[in-house]
Structure 1
């Protein structure tokens, strides 16, 4: 019988970027794609468009969120630091052309993979750390990571 991994049921999404395991996350929002299209009308056809023409696919940015941890949060910071250094070396972005990432959904016991999405040309868009309050806020210190990408289909 398999035993549950240490990240538990609250972190059912595992994320890896270019093989770097960024750990478990409690939520993954924005996993969607819109199929953009254009209606084509012709004279003499009055009950609707003559054709629906495909234009492009549009992927929303993905936002990951979790409680900060001493073992997994530094991995994200290191990846962001490495990316920012590449961007500073070449401000045109030529050095950092995006990367690949995988988001793995685990079952309720966190022992079996339910689904895996492979993202292409991934860029970090935003990282947010916790709001800190020394006057007694009992909230959990959360971090979020927003990734933009060119698709998972």
Structure 2
């Protein structure tokens, strides 16, 4: 039986590293919304009742949300947010899926025209014994190669 090497392991991950314009914002435990959708317009061809053309019209990219428990890296996001009102610009971002050792990269996605569109801080409730979490939401206009 062949032994599995690290390259044959499935893409299991417990952390995602986020960088925006080269600024490392630390590790996040969840990443959702990373996708692309091709919108199509249907056109019926006259005289051919058994076929409908599916014509691509545009590609859309839903917002990406990354979430994590509060850590010392949370201060990095706060520093980024402080400058937003004066410097709202589109930049680039890189999301890296990391293996549990936090060193080996499973996959990376480079996003273009990134804009931070939301941040949600923790809610504190003494009746709940849950970790305080934060989320950052990014809008983007596609992938870089």
Which TM-score bucket, shorter chain as reference?
Answer: 0.7 to 0.9
Q: Hey, what's the Cα distance between the residues in 1 that align with 2:14 and 2:73?
A: 12
Q: Hey, what's the Cα distance between the residues in 1 that align with 2:45 and 2:130?
A: 59
For residue 112 of structure 2, the aligned residue among 114, 120, 129 is 120
**What is the CA-CA distance between 1:39 and the residue it aligns to?**
1.7
* Matched-pair contact (CA < 8 Å) for 1:35–1:56: yes
Aligned residues: 133
2:83 aligns with 82
Gaps of 5+ in 1: 1-8, 88-95
Shift >6 Å, 4+ stretches: none
* Matched-pair contact (CA < 8 Å) for 2:13–2:100: no
**What is the CA-CA distance between 1:82 and the residue it aligns to?**
1.2
2:24 aligns with 21
Deviations 1:76-97 (A, max 9, x none): 111111122224xxxxxxxx2x
TM-score by length of 2: 0.84
2:137 aligns with 146
**What is the CA-CA distance between 1:43 and the residue it aligns to?**
1.3
* Matched-pair contact (CA < 8 Å) for 2:69–2:134: yes
